[in-house]
Structure 1
Amino acid sequence: MTALPRGGAPAEALAEVEASIEDRWRRFLEEYGVTAGTEAENDLAESVVADTSAFEWRVVDAALDRLACADCGNALGAGPTGCGRCDQANGFQFAAIETDRPATPPGTEHGLRVATAVARTRHRYGARARCGFELGLPLLLGGELPGTPQAQAYRAAINKLTEEECERVTSFEEVTRLSSRRVR
């Protein structure tokens, strides 16, 4: 399970998404009659990663968590930027199926999926990207999808923060308050 250093609602949202990933994997194993912790689980994870476009994104994320990168030893796709196998797996994970949840705007699940990927492998992204996507997790998990004008306003406000502030803030309200004191 990934823990966010920023805490607050973003950390709580990530914990909830992490739990949904693990729950979906458990159900996926049951669907295939596979026992957790066995070689069959590893084989199933490898088959998921071989064609990520055939599976839901939570299943793909769980499969990647269970496979070690042969080059860097980290969970596949979660290694340092520049590890070829992890870079490739990180890219392929975005081919997974993203089905919007009932009563959410189209694209909400994609936003949640991207925000989760950034939060789970935050070392692969810059401070401003981490800030925006991690702060967006609670909104997306709650079924909200900011429109383009709102997303652009958030980005403009985040761009006014220092990298240290980007790592420390726990809400878009805090970003707005800090950024309103500056011009850039």
Structure 2
Amino acid sequence: MSRIGKKPVVVPKGVTVTIDGSTVTVKGPKGTLTRTFDPRIKISLIEDQIIVERTSEEKEVRALHGTTRALIQNMVTGVSEGFSVTLKIRGVGYRAELKGKDLQMSLGFSHPVVIQSIEGIQFQVPSADTVVVSGIDKQLVTQVAANIRRYRIPDAYKGKGIWYEGEQRPLKPGKAVGKGK
């Protein structure tokens, strides 16, 4: 039995869950999310808890059990609280700003990098070196943050680039001068 899968998902007040076969719709104060799951996983709503059960003991179904429960938990959390990822931009002349709803960044290229706004994603720039990506769909928020980070992955020697907030990477030492002669 999956340790994650056997835990019920508690539905907070203000959140409505509708289950239609293997399709789950979660409505909350921040929005609505709908997702269709594998029909081999049984999803039921009992009072204010969502119970996820598997219909067989096949290896693939066992793997889907905990995953399905975690995805439903993320849906409930997303529509009630939302998700956000904070990115820190490090480097001389590297900065970010909002142009309307789009995010424009100067990252040392000959041109500014413009990220178009995506439905369900909000960009915030509290300072020139900080970008906050937020929304209700955890998968979409983290994927957009990863796509932004891909423009300038942190450099191993100087630390320049786009970092996740709280991320720590040891910097490599540079060349040792005067050794080996």
Q: Which has the higher contact order (CA 8 A, sep 6+)?
A: 1
Q: Same fold (TM over 0.5)?
A: no
Give 1 or 2: higher helix fraction: 1
Provide TM-score, normalisation by structure 1. Answer: 0.24
Give 1 or 2: higher strand fraction: 2
